Chain A
């Protein structure tokens, strides 16, 4: 009797090899991976360093990229789609990530492939229809995060929210927060938790807290994985920069609108206008779209743009502060930041970083 019971594929090719490659150590593999991704309508995301690769008789038939705790660039040769190969690939990626200490993983995919990745035990979190979906492999995390946030709810009809990188916290940041706090019953400020900035997250967070300490109706919140940062967002699906921005903004802002804001009752999002940085200014424009115009099950959130604080005729910007600091112009820096930030920067400069 050779009838196979369900689940056992007697014809399954057992000659598949899975291994991990580092693109920096093995650059010759990159061309093969690019080719497979291209067959799947994808471009290689330049940030991804590590790939799990599946070979059949030496040829790459499956790949999955891992960038810290984000899975990206997943592709399987058309002939093997729908077979157990994809599931084995997923298992290997999960185990690789776990070996590196990442157990809760994000995954970005096209919305029409969400079902496939449900098989990888990922759950959709937020979707920009027709463009991109953000998934996570732990269904408990986001609800838990929301539940923790909601314990910080404050009463009121006008609840504001600000998300800032604050690299470092300047008088400009202070101005936006102060203006918002004046007209809101409560203001929630989130600090982006990303170590890609010049100043460490813990330093930035402390400066924000110190810089707003005297305002009674403000809560400063730690950032989280759910405040999406450019560092983790893939740039590969979408061929032109505008489309990338569209996707990134959509995911980040819908996450805010659908999960973070409702937890705290936020109905206004405040942001400083951005005359100097084109990327951020287009982000602010997108904000209006995703937070209030785009269709969503969640209530719209009003976007309020605050005119930048100017000092000596120029808008205060963190990048300017960093540039002045690099030149050693502490006098110039002092005009642009509150005393709490200045004390830190002076020490920082003296310590020679």
Chain B
């Protein structure tokens, strides 16, 4: 999936995550994570985001994630939503979610 524009998904509220997606500047995935629990869960959050991107075949994007203690499934959903918006995708392949 190709990222063609800026998009956000999620909220700033507790147990949620705000995901900002924009086109890549250098053809790779750049991921920045902000979280109060970055020490304990930073790696886990990163892994979840990267897995989600991979499943959606996103190889180039800039992602900024602001985490407020969200579960993995919430992170997955918000990343998917932001990516689909940023790719202007209309149809969904349910197998990759």
Contact = CB atoms under 8 A, between A and B. Distances in A.
Direct A/B contact, Cβ within 8 angstroms: yes
A119 B22 CA distance: 21
Interface residues of A, number: 20
Contacts of A87: 11-14, 68
Interface stretch (A137-145, A245-253, A270-278, A302-310): A137-145
A139 B38 CA distance: 15
State the main secondary structure of chain B at its contact with A: strand
A98 B86 CA distance: 12
Nearest to B30: A140
B12 A94 contact: yes
Given A103-B22, A140-B62, A120 B8 contact: no
A158 interface: no
B40 interface: no
B3 to A, nearest CB: 12
A144 B15 CA distance: 30
A7 interface: yes
A120 B12 contact: yes
Contacts of A139: 32, 34, 64
Nearest 3 pairs of A and B residues by beta carbon: A121-B66, A103-B6, A91-B11
Given A87-B11, A87-B13, A120-B12, 20 more contacts: A7-B14, A84-B14, A87-B14, A90-B12, A91-B13, A91-B18, A94-B8, A98-B6, A98-B7, A103-B7, A103-B20, A119-B12, A121-B18, A121-B66, A123-B34, A137-B20, A139-B32, A140-B30, A140-B62, A144-B25
